[in-house]
Amino acid sequence: MKRPDVYKMVITALFVALTAVGAFIRIPTATVAFTLQILFVFLAGILLGPGWGALSQLIYVLLGLVGVPIFTGGGGFGYVFQPSFGFLLGYIGGAAVTGWLARAGRPSVLRTVLACAAGLAAIYAVGLPYMAWVLNVHLEKDLPASYIITNGMLIFLPWDGVKVAAAAALSKILLPVMDRLRRA
C-alpha cells in the first residue's frame, strides 16, 4: 500500500472519531440536538476531498448502526426510526458536496463558505424529509411542514452559520498543515 493511501485512511479514521466526539458536544432541543458534528462533516469534505470525506461519514453512520453508541442518542439499527437519522445520512452527501465544491477551483475563503453552505443544503435535503417521514408516518404525529422546517432547520441555521465560518477559518489553517504532512 502506498503512503498516501495510509495517510488518507488515517485522516479518514480521524474524521470518523471527530464526528463521533462532535455528537457528544451538544445542546438538546425538543427534536434534534445542537452538536458540532456538522463542523467535522464540512472539514472532512474540505480536507479529505469528496470521496474520502464522504467515506468518513459513511463509516461513522455504519458504526453507529451496528451498535457503537456514537450518535447523539446512542446507536443501533433502531436509530433509523429517530427523527434525526436522516441528517446523519445527509452527512455523507454533505461531505461529498462540500469537498467537491471546495476543491473545484482556486482555494479561497468565499469558495469554502459557499461549499459548506451547499454541503449544509445537502444535509437538510436528506434530513428534513426523513424527519417528516419519521414524525408523521412512523410516529403518526401529523405535524405540518412548518413545524418540521422550524424545528428541523430554522432554529439551527444561526448555529450552522457559525460552523460554516469556523470550517472556513480552520480549513485556511489546516490545509497547508495537511499538505506538509502528506508530503513528509
pLDDT in tens, 146-159: 999 999 999 999 99
Query: Is pLDDT at 4 greater than 80 in this prediction?
Result: no
Burial class for 2, CB neighbours closer than 10 Å (0-12, 13-18, 19+) = exposed
- Which CATH number covers residue 99? 1.10.1760.20
Query: Is pLDDT at 26 greater than 60 in this prediction?
Result: yes
Query: Is pLDDT at 9 greater than 80 in this prediction?
Result: yes
List the Cα angle 157/26/177 in 5-degree steps.
80
Distance CA 163, CA 183 (A): 29
Question: What is the number of other CB atoms lying within 10 angstroms of the CB of residue 76?
Answer: 14
Query: Is pLDDT at 2 greater than 80 in this prediction?
Result: no
Band the pLDDT of 161: cuts 50, 70, 90: very high
Query: Is pLDDT at 31 greater than 70 in this prediction?
Result: no
- For residue 30 the three cell numbers come to 425538543
What SS3 class is residue 75?
A: coil
Q: How many domains does the chain have?
A: 1
Range of the domain at 42: 3-183
